[in-house]
């Protein structure tokens, strides 16, 4: 199963493609779409075209999109909603099934805790996908997390899920100790 994960944003839209074969998840590609357009319509158009190209090139079984979080600023939530709509359109227009997940569900699936920090989620994305520690933009890491969440929610989680849970618990203990210092 191949999943394109999308972390929508107006200034930076993260994407990540993960393929599940048996009990193994493999990252195929990831990155961030940035727009140089000045107008809202121009930005949305550029995001749509780049997502359309990615989705039609990767031919996923599913496209997973992160839902809007409740922002303190209603204007920010509205603008994020535009970017999300473009992501949904890019998949739906070409007949790819879409799944939507709230941020806390993504964090729960990947890091074992719905209130996990971005750092904890990023750490687990690297662990689950077998990536060595490398520079990755947070939006790309978040998009890979959305794809992983989708795979796990589809009941296709790796056979070693128990060891992932133990790793999550160990990570949370280490991070808790660092916070106390």
Of 131, 124, 126, 128, the C-alpha closest to 156 is 128
The CA distance from 28 to 44, in Å, is 25
CATH of the domain at 118: 3.30.420.10
pTM of the model: 0.83
- Per-residue confidence of the chain (181 residues) as pLDDT tens digits? 999 999 999 999 999 999 999 889 999 999 999 988 889 999 999 999 999 999 999 999 999 999 977 667 788 788 889 999 999 999 999 899 999 999 999 999 999 988 898 899 999 999 999 998 778 889 999 999 999 999 999 864 443 334 334 444 544 454 455 445 4
Domain count, the chain: 1
The CA distance from 3 to 97, in Å, is 10
Rg (CA), the chain: 16
Angle between helices 103-111 and 118-129 (to 10 degrees): 50
Q: What's the token pair of residue 138?
A: 């947070």
Domain assignment of residue 43, given as a range = 2-180
Catalytic residue among 53, 122, 133, 139: 139
> Is 53 among the catalytic positions?
no
> Is 139 among the catalytic positions?
yes
Catalytic residue among 7, 46, 67, 142: 7
> Is 66 among the catalytic positions?
yes
Catalytic residue among 66, 67, 100, 142: 66
| Contact of 37 with 93, CB cutoff 8 Å | no
């Amino acid at each position: 199963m191949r999943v394109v994960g999308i972390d929508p944003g107006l200034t930076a839209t993260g994407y990540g493609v993960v393929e599940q074969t048996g009990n193994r998840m493999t990252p195929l590609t990831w990155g961030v779409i940035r727009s140089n357009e000045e107008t809202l319509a121009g930005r949305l158009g550029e995001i749509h075209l780049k997502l359309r190209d990615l989705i039609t090139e990767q031919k996923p079984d599913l496209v997973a999109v992160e839902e809007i979080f409740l922002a303190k600023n209603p204007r920010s939530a509205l603008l994020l909603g535009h970017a999300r709509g473009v992501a949904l359109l890019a998949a739906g227009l070409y007949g790819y099934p879409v799944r939507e997940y709230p941020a806390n569900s993504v964090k729960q699936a990947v890091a074992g805790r719905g209130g996990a920090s971005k750092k904890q989620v990023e750490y687990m994305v690297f662990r689950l996908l077998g990536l060595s520690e490398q520079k990755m933009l947070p939006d790309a890491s978040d998009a890979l997390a959305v794809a992983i969440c989708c795979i796990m929610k589809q009941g296709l989680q790796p056979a070693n899920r128990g060891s992932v849970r133990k790793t999550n618990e160990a990570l949370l203990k280490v991070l808790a100790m660092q916070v106390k210092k």
